[in-house]
Amino acid sequence: MKTQIKGHSLVSGLTIQESDTTFHAINPANDQALKPEYHQLNAASVEAIATHAQAAFSDYNQRSGAERAAFLRQIADNIHAAVEDLVEYMPAETALPEPRVRGETERTTGQLRLFANLIEEGSWVDARIETAQPDRKPLPKPDVRSVLQPLGPVIVFCASNFPLAFSVAGGDTAAALASGCPVIVKAHHSHPGTAEIVGQAVMAAVESCQMPDGTFSLVYGPGQEIGTALVKHPAIKVVGFTGSRAGGTALMKAAFERDEPIPVYAEMSSINPVVILPEALEQNGETIATDLHKSVTLGLGQFCTNPGLVLLPAGKAANRFATQLKDALANTADGHSLNAGIAEAYRSTVNQLASLQDSGVTVHHANPGDGNNHKCQVGTALFEVNAPTFLNLNALHQEAFGPSTTLITYQNQDELIQVVSAFEGQLTGTIHATGQDLQNTPNIVATLQERVGRILFGGFPTGVEVCHAMVHGGPYPSTSDGRSTSVGTMAIHRFVRAVCYQCAPDAVLPDALKNTNPLNLSRLINGQRTRDPI
Amino acid sequence: MKTQIKGHSLVSGLTIQESDTTFHAINPANDQALKPEYHQLNAASVEAIATHAQAAFSDYNQRSGAERAAFLRQIADNIHAAVEDLVEYMPAETALPEPRVRGETERTTGQLRLFANLIEEGSWVDARIETAQPDRKPLPKPDVRSVLQPLGPVIVFCASNFPLAFSVAGGDTAAALASGCPVIVKAHHSHPGTAEIVGQAVMAAVESCQMPDGTFSLVYGPGQEIGTALVKHPAIKVVGFTGSRAGGTALMKAAFERDEPIPVYAEMSSINPVVILPEALEQNGETIATDLHKSVTLGLGQFCTNPGLVLLPAGKAANRFATQLKDALANTADGHSLNAGIAEAYRSTVNQLASLQDSGVTVHHANPGDGNNHKCQVGTALFEVNAPTFLNLNALHQEAFGPSTTLITYQNQDELIQVVSAFEGQLTGTIHATGQDLQNTPNIVATLQERVGRILFGGFPTGVEVCHAMVHGGPYPSTSDGRSTSVGTMAIHRFVRAVCYQCAPDAVLPDALKNTNPLNLSRLINGQRTRDPI
């Protein structure tokens, strides 16, 4: 390994205190402890680190889009240069295979470069200018201009299931740094070494790009102590989180109870319903089942977009579909969850559903794994219920985070719409339909769309394209705030607010609002979009 | 009067129940009860009204921008046609003079027409299209498109201090209806008749434009009972509020504690600091004092943007400024607050500040009015403190909602920055400075900007231009959510979220995302802004 892993929080330009407690990662494949020991931050250092980020803010938010773009690209370059270290180290911490490590590294650096392009071009700041009309009656119109400005220091919590793309330099960090906000990352206890490899890559970029100390920090410690203390610190202005519903709602509460409540973007849980309409099932049932199997088992089902519910019309085609899917799942090798907590939660959910046969749950297949000898080993599961059973049983509305899915058969359109209307907010909803199906079921699109952030026609929700149009978010409880996305360039709006300047001299205006348009932005001037100067 | 005022909630197509309790407006000028009696909604009817709005949503949100624009213009026309009724009725309920009634009516209809223009043109929906790349390696790129969609039924609470522009058909209602959300308005108890005149104008537009029943309702009843019950109802998806900090935070709590927390846009309190720098004071002190007096007393100081704190360099010029302002305020006639509650709160704040002479508060002038004989009659007040006193006394950081202001003298730049850094979040901050002043005080703009939604250079914050660039919002506690504005076209973003369509057949896509671009919108296609079809 080129990277020297040291086992400490990364905070530059500041002496921090650590507690005597240490922890280490566990290899999910063999339950063995991994080196090095990781030192936990002392809660007394939270104040210093938060203030450090606040001090960096007033400098960092003044850097131009071009400077910040160069910084993001340097981070991407440094992570790319560390890929062999990640390939060497990350599989032991996560049980994720080498191709996944390489793929997720590419996605992570791709995200950083996409945000670099966005801020280098610069028009995302939504510059708006209304010029003065001194002679307007009855009152003169003042010169009024607005532009998006960063909110301040952000705390980002690493996700267990995306050790790169939703962690130290993942989507939230990339978007926050792009917007002009310093970032403090709270590492996940499952993959501290992976976090440190990426954290050192970011730190090196902070230094070589001469960004202020405190632009980025990476801290290790228990979430309930260190994480919550950071969320509550007055200098912190935004929270980004991907994880469990319990974890997300606890952070929402902590943020709401502050003297100054702050926005929390928590991605929490989603069961991602897949609706198969009759003609699509008849015509393509076999292909859909084959692809569904791949999607359910991808990454051992440990994706927020894992399809956990599949609605299909009751009948012979549904029976064939269930049999085919059951055979495929039963023939799928066991895998190792990312950590023992995830495996235990999965096992508990699968066992709970398997115990509900008397309540109308058909257990096609259930292999929760043997938690005694192999803590992280889990297998697949497939359940089936009819619509009334789904509507009655609360347990079926919960996420099973792993390679399990549940079929729901419906008798008719009314039952289908009833089931879809009973869904809580979801990240995604998928419809498999022919053109005729969509004509026959006019309400399905509108009903599903009200409950999801992304609606797919064909295909499966695993695989989230990083682009300008992606929405990886959705109504509560899939996320804490359905007005936002954690993937794609629209994520930058999490970290900003519009600030308005009235009758400001050109010299004090942000460059984005100056008369000459020195940044050559697309701006809204008196309601017309243009790159012209004033 | 053309309008027949009836004294009941307005809900079309639904039989509602009312309690036996009634209330009536009070004329602030003479404490007399006004006719008619207003019947309060029975809490049992909340369920029916919320469900009614939900039912309207699925129809209303499908109406085209052109149809909704025609609806908004019809509302504006109907309100304009009722202006003589408002002139006849509103002054008795509010003690606001005729020119204000006419001016606020124009502003209200202007807002509605501005939103009509916005949605008729349509590009505000931020349509984004990424076309498929089936041959991309290692994975094909899917077709991904996103567009802003309305969130669902909105509850809007009328403001006491803007009976038209922030009430029944005010900014929030206009923006919500423009976005595609049905609106339930909770009338303010201070001006029920004004609310009904406008409510009937909206109702007539719902009917003549053939919008679904439930697109708009106006309800009367106690906020803590009826208002809170509506905020808690699962069908309601957004809350808009302008009023007290206590009222706003109570609604935030109710919304947060729902099974599904929802966004609350509450505008609560702001003291709108005005910073006068040395050279500006020397050169323009007399003019600034004259204009400040007008701004402080405008509308009897009952504006969210009333300048409640004025910072100026200690010295002879500051003394002259104080004397001039004191004389002007002392010579200002008393007025009548909008209601007894506002007068009592103002009187209490002025009396509290006047009692702090031993703590360093200079009382230049304090005329809280005689609450015993004339409940709503209040006069002006002017206090002065030095910077250390301001920093020590919490009472000086609170809003005095009325024609009162406090001067803070600073000895030097450090003290100035210290005072500005101690401000809570504000709607506005104003700087009076010469070019030389700004060069001499390089940190003032950045320090103030972090704490406000709008920063003015010269002038005064009262008077809020309704346009594309206005931000009438600000960091907590000036509002509950500093990422948003209640004035100007950006307010439409309060009521929407982006929804993403992956690989959708053109037939099911919203018109904004169809290949041919039938609405001729400016769209972001593969990162490029264009009106071209695909």
Band (pLDDT 50/70/90 cuts) for residue B483 is very high
Residues 6+ apart with CB under 8 A from B169: B75, B79, B108, B112, B198, B201, B202
* Whole-number percent of chain A with pLDDT over 70: 100
Q: Residue B493: pLDDT above 90?
A: yes
Whether A374 and A417 map to the same domain: the answer is yes
* Helix ranges (DSSP H) in B259-339: 278-297, 316-330
Q: Which residues of B form the catalytic set?
A: 267, 304
Two tokens, residue B470: 């206005």
Question: Buried (b) or exposed (e) across B69-90, using 16+ Cβ within 10 A?
Answer: bbbbbbbbbbbeebbebbebbb
User: How far A24 CA lies from chain B's nearest CA (Å)?
Assistant: 35
Q: Residue B273: pLDDT above 90?
A: yes
| In contact, A187 and A195? CB cutoff 8 Å | yes
Residues B271 and A187: their CA atoms lie apart, in Å, by: 40
Two tokens, residue B247: 């009222």
Whether A284 and A225 map to the same domain: the answer is no
Q: Residue A390: pLDDT above 90?
A: yes
Whether A224 and A304 map to the same domain: the answer is no
Q: Residue B193: pLDDT above 90?
A: yes
**Which ipTM did the prediction report?**
0.97
User: How far B106 CA lies from chain A's nearest CA (Å)?
Assistant: 11
Residues of B in contact with A477 (CB under 8 A): 260
Residues of B in contact with A110 (CB under 8 A): none
Two tokens, residue A135: 């002679």
Select from B181, B298, B470, B500 the residue whose CB has the most chain A CBs within 10 Å, as the one to mutate to test that interface. Answer: B500
DSSP symbol at A358:
G
* Domain span at B319: 274-457
Whether B300 and B350 map to the same domain: the answer is yes
| In contact, B395 and B297? CB cutoff 8 Å | no
Q: Is residue A142 part of a domain?
A: yes
Q: Is residue A16 part of a domain?
A: no
Residue in B467, B484, B524 nearest the CB of A144: B467
Residues B62 and A449: their CA atoms lie apart, in Å, by: 13
* Mean model confidence pLDDT for chain A: 96
Q: Is residue B108 part of a domain?
A: yes
Q: pLDDT tens digits for B128-174?
A: 999 999 999 989 999 999 999 999 999 999 999 999 999 999 999 99
* Average pLDDT over every residue of B422-442: 97
Q: Is residue B512 part of a domain?
A: no
Contact A468 B142 (CB under 8 A): no
Q: pLDDT tens digits for A185-210?
A: 999 999 999 999 999 999 999 999 99
Residues B415 and B313: their CA atoms lie apart, in Å, by: 10
Whether B208 and B292 map to the same domain: the answer is no
Q: pLDDT tens digits for A102-157?
A: 999 999 999 999 999 999 999 999 999 999 999 999 899 999 999 999 999 999 99
Q: Closest-CA residue in chain A for B58? A: A446
The per-residue pLDDT for A44 is 87
Length of chain A: 534
Catalytic pick among A267, A384, A399, A415? A267
Whether B301 and B230 map to the same domain: the answer is no
| In contact, A347 and A375? CB cutoff 8 Å | no
Q: pLDDT tens digits for A289-299?
A: 999 999 999 99
Q: Residue A223: pLDDT above 90?
A: no
Two tokens, residue A392: 């009655």
How many domains are there within chain B? 2
* Whole-number percent of chain A with pLDDT over 90: 95
| In contact, A256 and B254? CB cutoff 8 Å | no
Q: Taking the mean position of all CA atoms in its chain, how far away is CA A484?
A: 11
Whether A191 and A169 map to the same domain: the answer is yes
Q: Residue A31: pLDDT above 90?
A: yes
Select from A119, A500, A520, A521 the residue whose CB has the most chain B CBs within 10 Å, as the one to mutate to test that interface. Answer: A500
Q: Closest-CA residue in chain A for B126? A: A469
Q: Is residue B118 part of a domain?
A: yes
Q: Is residue B155 part of a domain?
A: yes
Contact A529 B522 (CB under 8 A): yes
Residues forming a β-bridge with B310: B274, B407
Q: Is residue A209 part of a domain?
A: yes
Two tokens, residue A353: 């559903």
Whether B401 and B374 map to the same domain: the answer is yes
* Average pLDDT over every residue of A256-276: 97
Residues of B in contact with A499 (CB under 8 A): 449, 452-455, 471
Any idea what the CATH number is for the domain that residue B101 is in? 3.40.605.10
φ/ψ (deg, to 5) at A346: -65, -50
Instruction: Using DSSP, state whether A430 is helix, strand or coil.
Output: strand
The per-residue pLDDT for B174 is 98
The per-residue pLDDT for B20 is 87
Residues 6+ apart with CB under 8 A from B516: B533, B534
Contact A483 B263 (CB under 8 A): yes
The per-residue pLDDT for A368 is 93
* A465 part of the active site: no
Whether A163 and A67 map to the same domain: the answer is yes
Q: Give the strand pairing for B38-41 and B18-23.
A: antiparallel
Whether B444 and B370 map to the same domain: the answer is yes
* Helix ranges (DSSP H) in A122-189: 171-179
Whether A254 and A112 map to the same domain: the answer is yes
* Mean model confidence pLDDT for chain B: 96
Residues 6+ apart with CB under 8 A from A358: none
Q: pLDDT tens digits for A324-381?
A: 999 999 999 999 999 999 999 999 999 999 999 999 999 999 999 988 889 999 999 9
Classify A520 in phi/psi space as left (phi over 0), alpha (psi -120 to 50) or beta.
left
Q: Residue A224: pLDDT above 90?
A: no
Q: Is residue B223 part of a domain?
A: yes
User: How far A420 CA lies from chain B's nearest CA (Å)?
Assistant: 15
Residues of A in contact with B62 (CB under 8 A): 446
* Average pLDDT over every residue of A515-532: 97
Any idea what the CATH number is for the domain that residue A338 is in? 3.40.309.10
Q: Where are the beta strands (DSSP E) in A268-329?
A: 274-276, 309-313
Contact B477 A260 (CB under 8 A): yes
Whether A363 and A407 map to the same domain: the answer is yes
The per-residue pLDDT for B215 is 98
Band (pLDDT 50/70/90 cuts) for residue B92 is very high
Residues of A in contact with B527 (CB under 8 A): 468
